[in-house]
Amino acid sequence: MEKQINQKRKELIGNWFYNIKHSIENEEILFITNRENTLTFENEIHHLLNTYIIPRNYEGTEYNIFNSIDLEKDKTLLSKKNIILIGYNQLSINKISLNKKILCYNFKNGIELNEIKLDNIKLYSKKPVLSTDEKDLIYLNKLVPYELINKSSHMLNYFITNVYGEYSYFKETSFKSLIKDTNLDVDNENLWKKDIMITKPINFIFENNLEKHYLYNDIIILKEKGFLTSRLSIVLYRKALFNIDATITEVGRYFNKLLGIKSQTIDLIKISKDSSVNYNVLSKTKVKAYNLNIKAKNEKEIKLETELEIKIHIAKKLLYFTDIEEKTISKIVELPISIIKKYK
């Protein structure tokens, strides 16, 4: 999936440059970065555009190049057409207008012609067709957290670790911010079991990022066992809505309302038996989770449950703060005397 997404992203960027060459206005802002040397990278873009796409004297009319520092000073720059935005310092997504799609790419070693074939731009005359999932992963979009839990494990894993999410340029997709206040927000050494010596994560996919290994396991448990861990729900919610300040309580209320169930403490070592992952060497295994195998209550059931809670609350007040007899209280709140006696 990752290979396919990256290829489509490159084709979209190639088409973006093709449109500039042919005086076509793009619907996306192109956000590109290079972690090694951003200033040299900006000069390189100017050179390649001038050489292969369009003479530099067209800058300001056919295309515009800004960096994140420029944007911090003047937000009106976003109203211009064919914007190439270069990441310098950390930028808040919420300060960028999402009226336009944002197409992101990190050129690790500068713009190499074997990545985007600017010297043969006619290859990109047609814009690639994208599936819904591909659009969600390629463009910087707000998503519906609840809908994400029904996506495939590949989609979820890539959503958490995809290209724009890896950038430190965006505050809202900083991985450290996404796991803030969860039980993964600790030093790496505290994520292993104390009595086990491990030199590297079990899953080589995540190199030395143990937090992502946990979430990868949690995704598999969601798909294979039907348990949505609280920490995974928090990461999905914050990233989907670009809201790193969302509290654990806020996220809990959101999923509780939509799922119709409350989270419960589970043991992932037990739950993961007969699954394709295990937590045997990991320490953070007793967690809050939503059991999606439980049938959600319908509106009538929720209403009856709420009414019962209110009646019991009134009965307790009458028992504790008045001299009214139990039989009378039973009639007032319309509850059996046996229930009233429980709270005396």
Rounded Cα gap, residues 181 and 231, in angstroms: 9
Q: What is the pLDDT of residues 67-106, one digit of tens each?
A: 878 887 888 888 899 999 887 666 777 766 667 888 887 7
CA dihedral of 109, 112, 114, 119, whole degrees rounded to 10: 170
Six-digit token pair at 208?
A: 């030395």
Task: Give pLDDT, residue 35.
Answer: 60
Parse the chain into domains and list their residue ranges: 2-137, 145-291, 299-342
What one-character-per-residue DSSP string does 256-288 give? HHHHSS--EEEEHHHHTTTSS---TTBS--EEE
pLDDT of residue 165: 42
- Is 84 within 8 Å of 30 (Cβ atoms)? yes
List, for the chain, all residue ranges whose pLDDT scores fall below the cut of 50: 165, 197-202, 204-207
Q: pLDDT tens digit string along 172-189?
A: 777 888 889 888 877 666
β-pairing, 264-267 vs 286-291, is: antiparallel
Position 295 scores a pLDDT of 66
Q: Are 77 and 66 spatial neighbours (Cβ–Cβ below 8 Å)?
A: yes
Both tokens assigned to 111: 């713009």
What 307-316 contacts at long range (C-beta under 8 Å, 24+ apart), as own/partner pairs, is: 311/335, 312/339, 312/343, 315/339, 315/340, 315/343, 316/343
Cα(217)–Cα(157) distance, integer angstroms: 10
Give the model's pLDDT for residue 113: 54
Q: What integer pLDDT is reported at residue 188 of this predicted model?
A: 63
The residues with which 130 forms a beta bridge, in sequence order, are none
| Composition of the chain by helix, strand, coil, percent to 5 | 50, 10, 35
194 exposure class (CB count in 10 Å sphere: 0-12, 13-18, 19+): exposed
